[in-house]
Amino acid sequence: MTPITFVFPANPGSFFNDLQGVARGLGACRPAPGQCPATRYFMSFQYFAGAACRALTARKDGPSLYEVCDPVLAGQAGGDPHLAKFYKTALGNPALRVLLRRAGLPELRDEARLAALRQALARARDEAEPDWAAIGQPVADLLNSIALDHPRPPPAVFVGKAPQQSQIDGVIRDCAQHLLGSYRRNGFLPTYAAFNLIGDPDCRGRELIMALTGLNARGYKNSSLLFNLARVFIARSPARAVVHPPWRGVAEPMWEPVQIRHRSAYYDAFFIEALLSYIETGLALPADKIAAERAIADMVDFCVNISREEVEGIDGARFNVITALAPAPHPRFSRFFAQIKQDLGFGIYVPDCDTTACSISAATQAGCTDEIINQPLLDFYAGYQVRAGVNAPRVTVPLNDHIDYEGGVATWIDNLAGERPYGNDLDPTLNLDILEVSFRNLARWKILETPSRLATVHRIIGFQKRLAASGAFANPRSHIYYLPELYSAYFGRCYAAFLALPLAAQAAIDPDGDFDFIRHRVLSYVKGELMAAEMNVFDAALALIALGHLGADPRAFAPALNVIVDAIGEGGRRGPFRAYEWNKMKTPTRILVGGPEVTSAFVLMGLAVARRAMAGRG
């Protein structure tokens, strides 16, 4: 079953009225062999009806979230108005109040502890320069009382027979038609974001304090504080079963009715790659090929022109980079959600290293000749690269500080105004994207001829090798925005770009064979862990991307191919497949990003890679 994600709908009370509609959308709950879809629907509705009933009738054991917060935040509060506004908008909406009205914490019957918690909220509201570590500690102590785990799918029954080639080609065509049809209807390919109030399993009290002290924007600190307080009441009450039911596989499915539709250059970059994959299969009819090429050209323009932003490098040189969200109206938010975004403290977006790398890579693959492609971006990235003992404090929100950051490039780029709302963090998968775009522009950026640029590449490869050697790449906690399965697929994509280089260039970039070492570790994870357990469609697509690019025996593709072919149609009216988690944010709470179009794009890419490998053209 799929988890419920809240994004504060215009009519919050419709949550319970539409419970039947929720159940109808739960395609992730697969019927048993011989079970009809009506039975699956009944089971879904029965689950949510039962879970909601238990939440609404549970015995209340201590003060609720609202009994804690209303005296401080519900009235005409002074000080920083955003904290109270966020509380009323995000946590005080009627649907959530009903769901959590009987969720209480027994330790808060202690008047001293309750008073300390309220005092912390009042200080966050009133003080001009709050001591966020002290303010966050009462919430952090409560947060340490909850237990959340990452998905642990049960073992899968191995199926060695792959689907027919015609079935694989049919799914590729279905995914391509979904993407082209959506582009034709919308004028772009949408992606969706959704909040999951249960939060991320890797974020507990220690990580909350990291966020409160490492983030820069006060609105972001406010939302992190209150979201994490709410997490405790949800996770320790029967409401947990409503907000966070189980699902199949690793990537988290996304609930359909309450998602924020938007557009970003990061998403367009991967849609470009998906449509390029479709054209390369040779399956596109002439009219579809023309439509795909037009969409690609438009998305390249969106990436390198509309989303372009000038920033200053560490040495004062100016560079053009790609911003996470272009100025309005380009992100395509609805008016309602545009205002909600402001109210919740997400008013400022700055460029990031990942969107820049993926956009430039996609534009390069599409044959773009814009001058932005010629910038030697490694000179810019070198300023954001961590060097132990020199600039390690560049990572201000070290949620994954169990890994060695040396050689890694941080995520967020300061804009010309010097704004840095998210502080900075460091994600391993992002660094694969920097390597991949560097390989595609090796000659253009004169990397082999420029010792400083080659040294930047070597340090990133060293960072990746240590991740592989320690096994940390397979630990979800190591990743800020992704899952280990996505890291594996992105490594395959990076490895393919590496193998496309001349042998002499490969030797200069990787003289010690580090890429082959990482390749074996990633393949072992994909075959021995990811594919050994039950997968959903998105898991299977990522497995195929990794296996195909890393040169696995095509006979190993069968389980993932069967998962995809068997699930065709699960998306209902929205597309061939459901929406799944592509990437995420861990602060201020767990925010998932994905969509039906995203699933189609990754399935298309995975099947195209597998198809090429099975034809002996890997």
Mean pLDDT of each 10-residue bin along the chain, 618 residues long = 36 34 36 39 69 87 95 82 89 89 94 96 94 97 94 88 95 98 96 90 96 91 95 94 89 76 93 98 97 98 95 89 78 59 61 96 96 96 88 83 95 86 92 98 98 98 98 97 97 98 98 98 97 97 98 96 96 92 92 95 98 82
Q: Do 82 and 215 meet the contact criterion of CB atoms below 8 Å apart?
A: no
User: What H or E segment, with its residue span, contains residue 192?
Assistant: strand 191-196
Query: What is the pLDDT, as a whole number, of residue 6?
Result: 36
Angle subtended by helix axes 558-567 and 596-614, to nearest 10: 140
Take residue 241 and report the two structure tokens written for it: 């079963």
Query: What is the pLDDT, as a whole number, of residue 422?
Result: 82
Secondary structure tally for the chain: helices H, strands E: 25, 6
User: What H or E segment, with its residue span, contains residue 139?
Assistant: helix 132-143
> What does DSSP assign to residue 258?
S
Query: What is the pLDDT, as a whole number, of residue 157?
Result: 84
Q: Do 259 and 7 meet the contact criterion of CB atoms below 8 Å apart?
A: yes
What is the identity of the amino acid at 79? G
Cα torsion at 554, 560, 563, 565 (round to 10°)?
A: -40
Q: Could you give the C-alpha distances from 242 to 31, 62, 197, 236, 314, in angstroms and in order? A: 20, 20, 11, 12, 47
Phi, psi of 491 (to 5 degrees): -65, -40
Query: What is the pLDDT, as a whole number, of residue 489?
Result: 98
Query: 352: phi > 0 → left, psi -120 to 50 → alpha, else beta; which?
Result: beta
CA distance 564 to 538: 8
pTM: 0.90
List Cβ<8 Å contacts ≥24 apart for 69-76.
Answer: 69/121, 69/226, 69/229, 71/118, 72/118, 72/121, 72/122, 72/125, 73/121, 73/125
Q: Could you give the C-alpha distances from 503 to 181, 386, 509, in angstroms and in order? A: 41, 29, 10
